[in-house]
Amino acid sequence: MIYIDIEDLGFYDDAVVLVRSFYPRTEVAIMRPDVVLENDDLVISVDIPEVEGREKKDIHEDFKRELYLKLSEETGIELPWGYLTGVRPSKIAYTRLEENVSEKDILHEFTDKYFATPKKAELALKVAKTEKQILEDLDYRSGYSLYIGIPFCPTTCLYCSFTSYSQVAYASKIEPYVEALIKEMHYVSEAMAGQRLDTVYFGGGTPTTLSAEQLDRVLTELETCFDMGTVKELTVEAGRPDSITMEKLLVLKKHNVDRISINPQTMNDATLAVIGRRHSVAQVIQAFEMAREAGFDNINMDIILGLPGESIEEVRRTLEKIKELGPESLTVHSLAIKRAAALNIWRDKYADMQIENSDEIVQLAADYAKEMGHEPYYMYRQKNMAGNLENVGYSVPGKECIYNILIMEEKQTIIAIGAGASSKVVFYNMITGKQGRIERIENVKDVTNYIERIDEMIVRKETFFANNSDDSFDNMINDFKSGISHGIIVANLAYRLAKRLGLSEEDAYEIKLAGLVHDVGKLKLSQYLYGRNSSGLSIEEMKYMRMHSKMGYDYLKECDFSDCVLQAVLSHHECFDGSGYPDNLEAEDIPLSARIIRVVDSFAAFISDRPYRKAFDYETAVEIMIEENKNFDIRVFIEFQRMIHEPETIELIKSSNISLDDLDIRDILSN
């Protein structure tokens, strides 16, 4: 037993993954005061002091780094991926490429920061470059993909932890499941009407456990519900060779399925028997040849490295036979023993079985893929993987699975239907185009529950779409466009006032930009406040509205705005007498940029219509501001009063009132 002695239990999950990477198939637990240690028990302790002002994620990185170094020293082992415990190493490289970081610096980040080997760093970078090149040709932000889950299998494999149900034991559930699936499919097609469908992926389980007639019905409904003319890729995991018939293959071909998987996992009959796959190597070859005869020219094959009892020679035998068949893609998995897998549940039964995986074996698979003309195009990692290695998809160039890239890099919304299916909705920042939050909509895992509660599954999606509907989005757009109109006036007046106060051209421009985006934080509050009545904001609404400057600051910080802009946005509601928000700054502690925007923002608000009042004329607006002069830096306010009566300033305000009907917000910011 290995005990982890840490103060912050938020680090526990990553600690377990790292410990098990060094000590595979070993029990790991939290060290508690009442634990009585035995002779062979080991206690791992890491203490990282928190530094005030330091972000939690940075402290977390320090913790993993120190734990890794301690475990490496204890065992004399260096892991191929260092202390990286995340699922998607290539996503780190992909993000850095998008940020225009040099390839050399990306490689150094993997080796110097995470302690990954140079070979793994190069793999992550190569995969990321391929993914980026493929996705650049796909407008993934404006489209979506569809996942359809078929959770039945001929048998459950020894290593499998996915939600799958025996085709024989659940035979009576298959037909009602298909009916429920089609019902959910119809709802999704209505909910996503007008959106472009890019890829469709049938997974499982094993989709070809359905009969030919059932496959035909599901695919026909798919074509009826969705515009398939935009679909770039339609994949069906034929998966288990013992579920494949020529009749089913012809059904898939008839419905324009252009990519299938035939997954042996190993080409050794003895291992197939051990892991519970009741088919032979001969059946794998027969299924592959049938698929070729049916006209499929994009076939993937999956194998697993580290299966019980397999050494490098068994893996070589598998790769030789796959090379003879010549699939267009090869997905190489490193065995990950999940908690729910039979291999883990009945570990004592399989304790004597060798589970061997190494960088040498992984490299052997990579070499064979290269000999077949394949290049790595996507990758991911899992917890408890044999050898702490990775899963890599190799493909002949031009035959890559777009869906696999989209789901691994989390670049596109994927709507998932079926038992255990998890939809993933990706939101993009409408100003910068950068990726924002990701939301999930989960279906129940149990097949019987899914069938009986299909209406509830639909309501889950319906509720989500209602709360994130086009109407809500349009309301936010309208509110933001109104804010942009206000922002343009503030920006132009702030620039003019900054110049009159003797600021440089560069500083005045920064203040102008801050004026344009100073209320961007209200976008997040727009949906909550939209539809407010004409009597103004309630006390509760006002409490939330006062959060907008800090929200705007946080939001713009992610978009790499300058410190001048950020401080102006954060502090533009601070008052000179210290009565403002969010930090109650006063006098010279308030940045000059914020003091300038405070004045012109107030004026622009007074001369604009509000839901609870009509706009004031210029003279009245200035008179009101004089009564409230404690809010302003008097030097800035006096200069503003001189400026506001000049014909050039009045003309500037008039020219700032542009039409917003065809406003492209990103164009405004780019200019």
pLDDT tens per residue, range 369-417:
999 999 999 998 876 665 678 899 999 999 999 999 999 988 899 999 9
Kindly tell me if the per-residue pLDDT of 529 is higher than 80.
no
Whether the model pTM is above 0.85 = no
Kindly tell me if the per-residue pLDDT of 147 is higher than 50.
yes
DSSP H helices in 393-468: 402-409, 447-452, 454-467
Residue 661, burial from CB neighbour count under 10 angstroms (0-12, 13-18, 19+) = exposed
The span from the CA of 352 to the CA of 346, in Å, is 12
Q: Which amino acid would we find at residue 302?
A: D
Q: Which residues, 6+ apart, have CB-to-CB distance to 574 below 8 Å?
A: 580, 581, 583, 584, 585, 586, 590, 594, 598
Of 165-169, 217-221, 319-323, 353-357, where does mean pLDDT reach its minimum?
353-357
The span from the CA of 602 to the CA of 611, in Å, is 16
Residue 347 to residues 51, 300, 311, 356: CA-CA distances in angstroms? 43, 31, 19, 15
Is the Cβ–Cβ distance between 468 and 440 less than 8 Å? no
Kindly tell me if the per-residue pLDDT of 345 is higher than 70.
no
Dihedral sign computed on CA atoms, order 337, 340, 344, 349: negative
Residue 401 to residues 69, 119, 328, 331, 377: CA-CA distances in angstroms? 37, 24, 11, 11, 9
The pLDDT of residue 154 is 81
The pLDDT of residue 474 is 46
Model pLDDT for residues 250-280, shown as the tens digit of each residue: 999 999 999 999 999 999 999 998 888 888 9
* pLDDT average, residue stretch 553-564: 85
The span from the CA of 616 to the CA of 610, in Å, is 10
The pLDDT of residue 153 is 87
The span from the CA of 120 to the CA of 256, in Å, is 37
Cis peptide before 611 (omega within 30 of 0): no
Is the Cβ–Cβ distance between 181 and 187 less than 8 Å? no
Kindly tell me if the per-residue pLDDT of 668 is higher than 50.
no
The span from the CA of 366 to the CA of 319, in Å, is 10
Q: What share of the chain is helix, strand, coil (3-state, %, to 5)?
A: 50, 15, 35
What is the b/e burial string over 205-223, where b = at least 16 CB atoms within 10 angstroms of the residue's CB? bbbbbbbbebbbbbbebbe
The pLDDT of residue 337 is 54
The pLDDT of residue 671 is 38
Beta bridge partners of 333: 304
**Given the structure tokens 């840490």, which residue do they identify?**
6
Which of 206, 197, 295 lies closest to 254 in space, CA to CA? 295
Model pLDDT for residues 177-224, shown as the tens digit of each residue: 999 999 999 999 999 998 999 999 999 889 999 999 999 999 999 999
Of 87-91, 232-236, 251-255, 608-612, where does mean pLDDT reach its minimum?
608-612
**Given the structure tokens 């940020």, which residue do they identify?**
99
The pLDDT of residue 610 is 67
Of 80-94, 480-494, 577-591, 634-648, where does mean pLDDT reach its minimum?
480-494
The pLDDT of residue 316 is 96
Of 176-180, 187-191, 437-441, 574-578, where does mean pLDDT reach its minimum?
437-441
* Longest CA–CA separation in the chain, Å: 91
* pLDDT average, residue stretch 433-439: 75
Number of Cβ atoms within 10 Å of the Cβ of 657: 11
Of 77-91, 353-367, 631-645, where does mean pLDDT reach its minimum?
353-367
Kindly tell me if the per-residue pLDDT of 475 is higher than 60.
no
Of 286-295, 546-555, 560-569, where does mean pLDDT reach its minimum?
546-555
Beta strands in 306-362 (DSSP E): 329-334
The span from the CA of 522 to the CA of 475, in Å, is 12
Kindly tell me if the per-residue pLDDT of 663 is higher than 50.
no
